[in-house]
């Protein structure tokens, strides 16, 4: 007589326990915002300096615990969903350059405190040649007290997001690579849906719903599934944009937890099987610093047998900054986003690249993107 072998549930015990008890009266707890109004000259100066250095309110970020808790507003079907082994392990790769220490540590702790220990292989922090002093020994001391799962890698020169991420990928030992920005917060249950989809199909690139963390108050704004957008792009500049999910995609789905197919992903936060990432030749290493790499990867995945999906049961909050607080021009003085998007268009868009060139006049400033 053949007996069914019972499937083993994923043990949800986190890699690191959040220090308790939770004091909900602390600033920012449960995802609330901090409406801080500077009154003294010193406070006004410090707030202004924070915005200038980081393009968000670093003063408020420092007021909020790096262990802050978030309310779980996910659909009931997501909260009750069970996940079964075998699921792949994942390496978390976080690249940072002159990041606010409190925002960086909150990102790290939110991973450790909301990720099942048996699925989290490691957290790789890649310092892309930061110059701020508190990201040197102070960061190293802090990380030494966190967990042996966290490793710090440092580049020897400014590499840019793309090459720094590839450095992390080369050191990663997990089966899946999960890329995060250095100013985000992971919700409970964020990891399992991503890994389950990739276990189902290694060519799926899985993205969480990206919730909005206010850059001034750090309020965590939760997207309900029905209101979530998906990725697209502007023909005028080939920049990523959010677009409404079409009705035919909603009709295809039968459950609130079903994935949403998306033409492009934002690029900062997603999971991809390491073998598939290597199969499609990873990122384009000729792209510089930042910009365009998300569309390049999106076009590559769809044209190389893969697919992009947003998983409604996975939520990660992200501080969407209005500007980038560092210079990103290449030696010839050309904005790297223009050069990178031109390269992407030349490689993946065939004759459709001419639509972009006609609409983006600044492409004439670049002699050759290849």
- The tens digit of pLDDT for each residue in 117-140 reads 999 999 999 999 999 999 999 999
What CATH number has the domain bearing residue 127? 3.90.550.10
Answer whether 91's CB lies under 8 Å from 173's CB. Answer: yes
Note the maximum CA span of the chain.
80
Better pLDDT: 157 or 322: 157
Would you say residue 370 lies in a domain?
A: no
Max mean pLDDT range (231-235, 324-328, 333-337): 231-235
- Say yes or no to pLDDT of 370 above 80: no
Would you say residue 148 lies in a domain?
A: yes
Expressed as residue numbers, the domain containing 112 is 76-210+243-319
Residues sharing a CB contact under 8 Å with residue 262, sequence separation 6 or more, in sequence order: 207, 230, 231, 308, 309, 310
Interval 269-288 mean pLDDT = 92
Q: How far apart are CA 186 and CA 190, in angstroms?
A: 6
Q: How far apart are CA 114 and CA 111, in angstroms?
A: 5
Q: How far apart are CA 230 and CA 259, in angstroms?
A: 11
Q: How far apart are CA 368 and CA 263, in angstroms?
A: 27
pLDDT at 368: 53
pLDDT tens by residue, 62-79: 999 999 999 999 999 999
Would you say residue 369 lies in a domain?
A: no
Structure tokens given for 255:
């459950």
Residue 241's CB: how many other CB atoms inside 10 A? Answer: 12
97: number of CA atoms within 13 Å, CB side?
20
Q: How far apart are CA 250 and CA 230, in angstroms?
A: 12
Better pLDDT: 226 or 315: 315
Better pLDDT: 293 or 213: 213
Would you say residue 296 lies in a domain?
A: yes
How many domains does the chain divide into? 1
Residue 249's CB: how many other CB atoms inside 10 A? Answer: 15
Quote the pTM value.
0.92
Would you say residue 343 lies in a domain?
A: no
3-state secondary structure of 172: coil
Would you say residue 16 lies in a domain?
A: no
């Amino acid at each position: 007589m053949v007996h069914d072998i019972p499937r083993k549930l994923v043990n949800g015990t986190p890699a690191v326990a959040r220090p308790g008890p939770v004091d909900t009266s602390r600033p920012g707890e449960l995802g609330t915002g901090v409406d801080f109004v500077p009154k003294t000259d010193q406070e006004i100066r410090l707030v202004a300096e924070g915005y200038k250095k980081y393009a968000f309110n670093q003063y408020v970020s420092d007021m909020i615990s790096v262990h802050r808790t978030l309310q779980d507003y996910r659909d009931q079907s997501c909260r009750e969903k069970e996940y079964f082994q075998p699921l792949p392990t994942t390496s978390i790769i976080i690249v940072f350059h002159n990041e606010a220490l409190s925002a960086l540590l909150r990102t790290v702790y939110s991973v450790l405190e909301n990720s099942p220990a048996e699925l989290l292989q490691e957290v790789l922090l890649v310092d892309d040649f930061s110059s701020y002093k508190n990201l040197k020994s102070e960061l190293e001391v802090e990380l030494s007290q966190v967990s042996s799962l966290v490793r710090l890698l440092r580049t020897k020169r400014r590499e840019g997001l793309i090459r720094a991420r590839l450095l992390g990928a080369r050191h990663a030992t997990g089966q899946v690579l999960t890329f995060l920005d250095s100013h985000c917060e992971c919700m409970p249950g964020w990891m399992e849906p991503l890994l389950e989809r990739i276990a189902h199909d290694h060519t799926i690139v899985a993205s969480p719903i990206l919730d909005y963390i206010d850059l001034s108050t750090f309020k965590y704004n939760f997207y309900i599934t029905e209101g979530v957008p998906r990725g697209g792009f502007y023909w005028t500049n080939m920049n990523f944009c959010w677009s409404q999910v079409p009705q035919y995609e909603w009709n295809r789905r039968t459950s609130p937890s079903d994935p949403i197919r998306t033409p492009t992903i934002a690029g900062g936060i997603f999971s991809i099987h390491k073998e598939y990432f290597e199969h499609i030749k990873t990122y384009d290493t000729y792209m510089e610093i930042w910009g365009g790499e998300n569309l390049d990867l999106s076009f590559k995945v769809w044209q190389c047998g893969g697919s992009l999906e947003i998983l409604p049961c996975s939520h990660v909050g992200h501080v969407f900054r209005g500007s980038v607080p560092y210079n990103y021009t290449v030696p010839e003085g050309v904005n790297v986003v223009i050069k990178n998007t031109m390269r992407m268009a030349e490689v993946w868009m065939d004759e459709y690249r001419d639509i972009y060139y006609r609409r983006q006049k600044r492409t004439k400033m670049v002699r050759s993107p290849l």
